[in-house]
Structure 1
Amino acid sequence: MTVKTPIARPGMRIGLLGGSFDPAHEGHAHITEFALRRFGLDRVWWLVSPGNPLKEHGPAPLAERIAAARRVMRHPRVEITDIEAQLATRMTADTIAELQRHCPAVQFVWLMGSDNLVQFDRWERWSEIAARVPIGVLARPGTRLAARQSRAAQIMRAGRLPEAYASLLPMMKPPAWVLLNLPMSPLSSTMIRNGGDMRADEEGTAK
């Protein structure tokens, strides 16, 4: 299988932000730029997914969502990709495994919002994800406390790093994770689709 990946040189620290991005918005850009700085990442790849197994209704066509994401996220170290469609993967564990196979010398970090950590133990093979890559968790409105107290956080508590060591996360042997507080952006894709009258939901793909 031929997969077209962005630049991925040996030793690079690359953050992976998965999601339907339906639509992409400034909140996604906000946490991405924060993650680049605090985790000391060389690049962040947005993995625009074909669909989310935990969502009842399918997203807008993939090409439309990628085009919209590129209008929102204009940063020289951020790549908007359709890698999951190329790999024909639907589960995050499979996507990460394939990326590690294609780019064995890259240090990948999985990025997620704190709202996703709350439900992380519902993801398919979530413990495999935690065993494969360090995880950078970015605080989202209303879920910081719930994330810290979540089942997944309790199971992974031995691998949690203090915020002060966030820049070391890409070099840590998993399971390893950091929960970062950051200036809050209330935006979510659900709010935008519904005219701004719903509370914020997930930043990444819960799957």
Structure 2
Amino acid sequence: MKIGLYFGSFNPIHTGHLIIANYVAYNTDLDKVWFVVSPQNPLKPSGSLLNEHNRFHLVELAIEGESRLRASNIEFSLPRPSFTIDTLTYLSEKFPTQQFTVIMGSDSFQNLPRWRNYQQIVRNYPIYVYLRPGHEVTETYGAQVEILKAPMLDISSTNIRHYIKEGKPIRYLVPDNVAAYIAENNYYK
């Protein structure tokens, strides 16, 4: 089975994330896409992060009933901060019959040389890169890259958190059940 790993803070998960994951799940050779919820991104400050278990639950709510998408909390039990190469190595050992592919935006892909042991990633794992405006892929860093033209929405988790703080609605930016759960639990206030 071929599994795409879509890493992120998902703070919170939004419609843009879901469109990309769904596009990749149904328009590539992958059988499933796992949302790998990162407890802490080593390249981002952790101050504004909602607890990882709450973010994981929001991902589960967002993909309810979608058989090709799955939420993964695999990084919760790994050393922190979580580095992609460590997660990939762990998953490959734990699931030796699965083939793993990394899914990322072209903006993140441009930062690949800053990642820990990125040479090991490009040597051992295909990378599916979805194009983001203003971030063309001009260098592959030796990776087996597939460029995807997934539908893009200009939505950011940062803006969603600001809207919530300001008391503005987030309907249509996140699934209704996610918006309801965020409101019920006073997340991001």
TM-score range, shorter chain: 0.7 to 0.9
Structure 1 segment 151-170 matched on structure 2, within 5 A: 153-156=139-142
The answer for the alignment partner of 2:129 in structure 1 is 137
Q: How far apart are 1:123 and its partner, in Å?
A: 1.1
Secondary structure of 2:86's counterpart equals helix
Q: How far apart are 1:28 and its partner, in Å?
A: 0.7
Counterpart contact for 2:24–2:150, Cα < 8 Å:
no
User: 1:177, 1:154 → 2: CA distance?
Assistant: 7
Counterpart contact for 1:141–1:185, Cα < 8 Å:
no
The answer for the alignment partner of 1:13 in structure 2 is 2
The answer for the alignment partner of 1:8 in structure 2 is none
Q: How far apart are 1:86 and its partner, in Å?
A: 2.2
Q: How far apart are 1:155 and its partner, in Å?
A: 2.9
Gaps of 5+ in 1: 1-11, 157-174, 197-207
Is the counterpart of residue 60 in structure 1 residue 50 in structure 2? yes
Deviations 1:140-175 (A, max 9, x none): 2332x2xx12xxx2532xxxxxxxxxxxxxxxxxx4
- Runs of 4+ with deviation above 4 angstroms: none
User: 1:131, 1:154 → 2: CA distance?
Assistant: 12
Counterpart contact for 1:48–1:82, Cα < 8 Å:
yes
Residue 180 of structure 1, aligned match among 131, 141, 148: 148
Q: How far apart are 1:183 and its partner, in Å?
A: 2.1
Cα distance change, pair 32–76 in 1 and its aligned pair in 2 (3 A):
same
1:141 maps to a residue whose letter is: P
Structure 1 segment 26-175 matched on structure 2, within 5 A: 26-58=15-47, 59-74=49-64, 75-88=66-79, 90-143=82-135, 145=136, 148-149=137-138, 153-156=139-142, 175=143
Secondary structure of 2:104's counterpart equals strand
Superposition RMSD on alpha carbons, in Å? 1.7
Gaps of 5+ in 2: 165-189
1:182 maps to a residue whose letter is: A
TM-score, with normalisation over the residues of structure 2? 0.79
User: 2:63, 2:132 → 1: CA distance?
Assistant: 19
2:141 maps to a residue whose letter is: I
Aligned length: 161
User: 2:10, 2:151 → 1: CA distance?
Assistant: 21
Counterpart contact for 1:45–1:81, Cα < 8 Å:
yes
Secondary structure of 2:163's counterpart equals coil
User: 1:87, 1:56 → 2: CA distance?
Assistant: 19
TM-score, with normalisation over the residues of structure 1? 0.72
The answer for the alignment partner of 1:202 in structure 2 is none
Secondary structure of 1:195's counterpart equals helix
Counterpart contact for 2:122–2:141, Cα < 8 Å:
no
